[in-house]
Amino acid sequence: MAKVFTIPVPPKFGSKRRERTSDPRYVDGQRLLVEAMKYLAQTDPVANRAAIELISEHVRTRFRMSDSPLT
């Protein structure tokens, strides 16, 4: 079996924390997805239920985990 070596890295206490700024593309993307769900719900909520659920799941999981306004 192989041995695993860990090299500890001391934390940098003197560095400043990065200031959070919102990215307008991130906010516009969320707004666009919400508007798409509203449109689908207004036109035919029963027939578009699967599409609304798909967009909703994307907003709740992938969109928030994979996209960040800090990048």
Q: Could you tell me the residue ranges of all domains in the chain?
A: 24-66
Per-residue model confidence as pLDDT tens digits over 24-40: 887 788 889 989 999 99
> pTM value?
0.55
Structure tokens at 7: 């090299």
Q: Quote the CA–CA distance of 58 and 43 in Å, as a whole number.
A: 21
17 and 67 Cβ atoms separated by less than 8 Å: no
Q: Where are the alpha helices (DSSP H) in the chain?
A: 24-43, 49-60, 62-66
What confidence tier does 69 reach under pLDDT thresholds 50, 70, 90? low
pLDDT at residue 21, as a whole number: 73
pLDDT at residue 64, as a whole number: 54
Structure tokens at 31: 């707004």
Write down the residue that tokens 């500890």 correspond to: 8
pLDDT at residue 22, as a whole number: 72
